[in-house]
Structure 1
Amino acid sequence: MKRILRYQTTAIAVFVKTPGITPLKTRLADTIGKESALAFYDLCLEAIQKTLSPFRQSTPALVYPYWAVAEKQGLSDHRWNDFNRVWQGNGDLGERLHHVYSTLYFVHGRVILIGADAPQLSQDALLETHHLLKDKNKFVIGPARDGGFYLFGGAKALPQHVWNSVAYSQPSTCDELVTKIKSYGEVAYLPTLTDVDVYEDLPNLKSELQNSQMPTQMEMMNWIETTLTGECIWKT
């Protein structure tokens, strides 16, 4: 990518996997079945797409949404037509986070990385992060309840060893990342949220969606309510 923007903007990259190419939400599927887990993932994507779409309509455009797609062959999938796409690259999660962050930092100067499994994330939280990153010496972290993070934002380059030295998918992941980046700048925190990996995460997500007004987030809340009452729990 060429650095063609004349003023500093913010990229928001959503890390996604393409259904039909990569298995999705496998631990959740162990409880509710593959079909229901895919339905959950599709609802997540729809909620995130609706949350990010208004940023494309602002003039001048200051925030640019991207799908960060796990599979190279998935880049052409119709699901990702709404936003620009960037390949996550090869390697483990640390290498892929570094690849997407550094690629978009070169183009935009500010980067926000989020996952696809926190559909309760609001436009206000993303706008707050965008404004916080106007301070180039500040990083923004959204801690997840399981010890990981649902959002990372930065406005300066980070060496690859920072990303590679963190143990991911562990209760200590967020704390480790914060420890690694503190020598590069100040860390600001967003509220702790749930990112959904297993069935037991669904009640927390439902609670965090209670005040949501967006139709897609309300649809997600209704889906969770139906699932928790056992009306659509089956193995596929």
Structure 2
Amino acid sequence: MSGCGLAIFVKTPVLSPAKTRLWPALGRARAEALYLECAAAVASVAEQAQRASMVQPYWAVAEAEGLDAPIWQRLPRLSQGEGGLGARMAGVYSQLLHRHRAAVLIGADAPQLQASMIAQAAAWLDAPVPRLVLGRAEDGGFWLFGGNVALDEAAWEGVAYSRADTAECFEAVFSGSGEWLQLPVVRDLDTIDDLAPVHAALAALHAATPEQRRVSNWLDDALAPAGVPQWTA
């Protein structure tokens, strides 16, 4: 086994609804288009980390039918499998540990991520002792979790997800499994109130990828004084 496996959790919009909390403001088509742009931005950052360190990125696709979708051919693909979010994360984490020395899970909701964050997580996990890493999100969830040690799969399902205390509960569940590293807190793009902060974070990047610039341009239009988001390809 070598390096660190990195799984980006994604849904296929034609098969599963995505970014539903943005639908009232943007409409379903624009919200899901933005979601795919964010996923591409996250993938571009993962590829930067791949070039800079021993990280192998994958898509972790929610639907079995989505594994062959053209939009997910940029990276190798893993199936999320069945069950709730905890069970699916546990399954993907286990798959990665069978292929690599360490496993990292991230979402597609934070296009402002930087390769240095992923590289920091991978470097921390490249150790002979049990280690875990957590990147908390501003809403109380988390944007990254990783480890270099096998974890009780049932424990993943003991966490209540999508709550203000999710990250806190998640860390508590695995508190005795190894040393922890805390990464910077990041804001996910989930609601209309997240557009401006995420746009500002993208604008502050010193070396944004082309895919990150596309998301920034999209948000330029969405936040324009006219008030009507305009999708530009």
Residue 185 of structure 1, aligned match among 178, 185, 189 = 178
Contact persistence 1:33–1:233 (CA under 8 A) = no
Q: CA deviation at 1:196?
A: 1.4
Structure 2 contact 54–122 (Cα < 8 Å) conserved: no
The aligned residue for residue 29 of structure 1 is 23
Q: Residues 82-107 of structure 1, C-alpha deviation per residue, up to 9 Å, x if partnerless?
A: 21110001000000000000111111
Aligned partner letter, 2:26: I
Q: Does 1:95 align with 2:90?
A: no
Give % identity.
Answer: 38
Match of 1:232 in 2: 229
Conserved in 1, the CA contact under 8 Å of 2:49 and 2:116? no
Alignment partners' CA distance in 2, 1:110 and 1:189: 16
Q: Distance in 1 between matches of 2:177 and 2:220?
A: 43
Deviation at 1:55, TM superposition (A): 4.7
Q: What TM-score do you get using the length of structure 1 for normalisation?
A: 0.90
Aligned match for 2:163, one of 162, 170, 188:
170
Determine the structure 2 residue equivalent to 1:69. 61
Partner residue, 1:11? 5
Gaps of 5+ in 1: none
Give SS of 1:176's match.
helix
Query: Are 1:220 and 2:215 matched, yes or no?
Result: yes
- Whether the 8 Å contact between 1:13 and 1:114 is mirrored in structure 2 is yes
SS at match of 1:192: strand
Residues 148 and 228 of structure 1: CA distance in aligned 2, closer, same or farther (over 3 Å): same
One-letter amino acid of the structure 1 residue matched with residue 216 of structure 2: M
Aligned pair partner of 1:195 in 181, 188, 194: 188
- Amino acid in structure 2 at the alignment position of 1:223: W
Question: Cα offset for 1:204?
Answer: 1.6
Q: What is the CA distance between 1:22 and its match in structure 2?
A: 0.6
Unaligned runs of at least 5 residues, structure 2: none
* Conservation of the 8 A alpha-carbon contact between 2:49 and 2:119: no
2:104 to 112, 120, 125: 112
Q: Does 2:205 correspond to 1:208?
A: no
Which digits, 9 at most, give the CA deviation of each residue in 1:125-178, with x for residues without a partner? 010111011134221111001000000011000001220110000001000011
Root-mean-square deviation (CA), in Å? 1.7
Alpha-carbon shift at residue 218 of structure 1 (Å): 2.3
Q: Within 2, Cα distance between the matches of 1:233 and 1:82?
A: 26
Name the count of aligned residue pairs: 226
